[in-house]
Amino acid sequence: MSNLIGPDVQVRVSSTLDKSVAKKHLIDGVSETCWTSTQGTPQWLQLKFPGPIRPRRLSITFQGGFVGRRCVIGKVQGDGQSRTWTTIYPEDVNRKQVFSLPALEPSEDDGVYGLKLTFEESSDFFGRITIYDLGLEGDVVPPTAPP
């Protein structure tokens, strides 16, 4: 199992409060920077990988008071469509939280191409989300050899 988030991962978000808290800070590895959404629910973020992966463990460090309390995780297939996979319920705390992800279906043995996290609820009255660090561990699916 290895870190799946690197410079070749594309990040999209539902909104950004301003440039100082932009989406690039989700995966920059700097503990003092963060992404903050505008107000309103739901908020979401999407990770797109250069090739198929098998995600196994997700870690998120929120700012307490701005936590996505219910997060639906969707698997993004090769066709670009997101399908609901699982739901996590982070605590309203300032520490790293780690979530084990369920195994992929046997029909998805070739992996998925991305994840979409939809924060349906926030601990913030206005629905804002603040994330200081986002991590994803798992396996890169090796390319198949041509017949």
| pLDDT, one tens digit for every residue, the chain (147 residues) | 899 999 999 999 999 999 999 999 999 989 899 999 999 999 999 999 999 999 999 999 999 999 999 999 999 987 888 899 999 999 999 999 999 999 988 878 789 999 999 999 999 999 999 999 999 999 999 876 555
Widest Cα–Cα separation across the chain: 56
Per-residue CA distances from 31 to 61, 89, 134 (Å): 9, 22, 10
Where exactly are the structural domains of the chain? Answer: 2-139
Please tell me whether the peptide bond between 50 and the residue prior to it is cis, using omega within 30 degrees of 0. no
Q: What is the pLDDT of residue 78?
A: 78
Residue 26: CB atoms within 10 Å: 21
Q: How many C-alpha atoms does 113 have within 13 Å on its Cβ side?
A: 9
Give the integer Cα–Cα distance in Å for 40 and 68.
Answer: 12
Strands 130-140 and 35-36: antiparallel
What is residue 145's predicted lDDT score, i.e. its pLDDT? 54
Q: What is the pLDDT of residue 129?
A: 98
Do 75 and 118 touch, CB atoms closer than 8 A? Answer: no
Residue pair 26/9 in contact (Cβ under 8 Å)? The answer is no
pLDDT of the residue at 41:
94
Q: Would you tell me how many other CB atoms lie within 10 Å of the CB of residue 102?
A: 10
CATH of domain 2-139: 2.60.120.260
